[in-house]
Structure 1
């Protein structure tokens, strides 16, 4: 779903015009230019008991919401911004129907481990552990920990994990994240979008710690500050990132 540089420039101009004037005709042009993205995401949720027309309408609604909220001055590509919004609308549509979105086994197992680790670390530290402390204890990345935390919200009391008697097993199959949730690339778009909302210093800290996998001591040496200061800054920006993740998920 790539587009030429000229087309991207045209889209940026349309967003600037729409943000300045609120002209609905301009918004219609933006919808037409980006509809392919919405339809592509809708197809990821096909064959799960909801008509394709309904899915496309829900995805189109998510596209409209993304267009209304998008700020072109932030320098983010619209597709990066719109994908989490559209997928959120699709997932909400299934949840509103009482269906649960099932998560991968590795995330389920991490969620269970985190439940144990939270209690252990709280007892050891005398306070609730930070995301970083949980990630270190679980030998997982920050992204995996955040994903496991968010996955806990996907469980519902009414599940369609077991197919109904006499029903088509494919239509009654659980909504497995392996083939329906965001792809790894789309998850990265969401994380990059959230990181883009942090201060430049905090973005650097996160990238050094979790992307380049530097130790706090190495980060302190790189930035010319104490390791204690690095630890405090990381805890603060990780909590900020967690709050932004919770806001996005809701």
Structure 2
């Protein structure tokens, strides 16, 4: 039974690739789950072996991630929500032929949209990010460049204080987009999944928001210069 379902176990393990754990380790955990499924399976219960084996293997992998897979470990319930949200989103994407909205994922799991948002917020915390990692695809600015190592960053305080009331004047969805992009560091695609629009729409919304903020800041500086 183990040899006949070897490929099944490894294919399930590969679903969890690129989340901070070695593929070989994941395959070993999946095979352990397969062995446990073979030992515990009772054909007299009526269900087929696959219906029993798949959740058994998946459960072993999820437990392994909860115990070993987090660089920054969130609360246990949030870890479970994170894995459930990712799994549900992948299933719904296949069924719908598009990325599901946060509301659709929440409905499928019996969670609130806020729960889904929090779960997605911790997704990707399996691996600590390098300080030399580029913030954008062009590879120009790194994470360490944004940490204010020089005194010249103090010159930006005035801009921050100017920006604060301007952000409060944005619509609630616009403030959410800004927070997701520049505080939570989500990609445009991830933001689109959170608010239920396409990546292209997020790009247009961000461009419009940033243009209005730049113009408002420039106008404030012009007013200050004229007054002085």
TM interval, shorter chain, is 0.3 to 0.5
- Between 1 and 2, higher relative CO (CA 8 Å, sep ≥ 6) is seen in 1
TM-score normalised to the size of structure 2?
0.38
**Bigger radius of gyration among the two:** 2
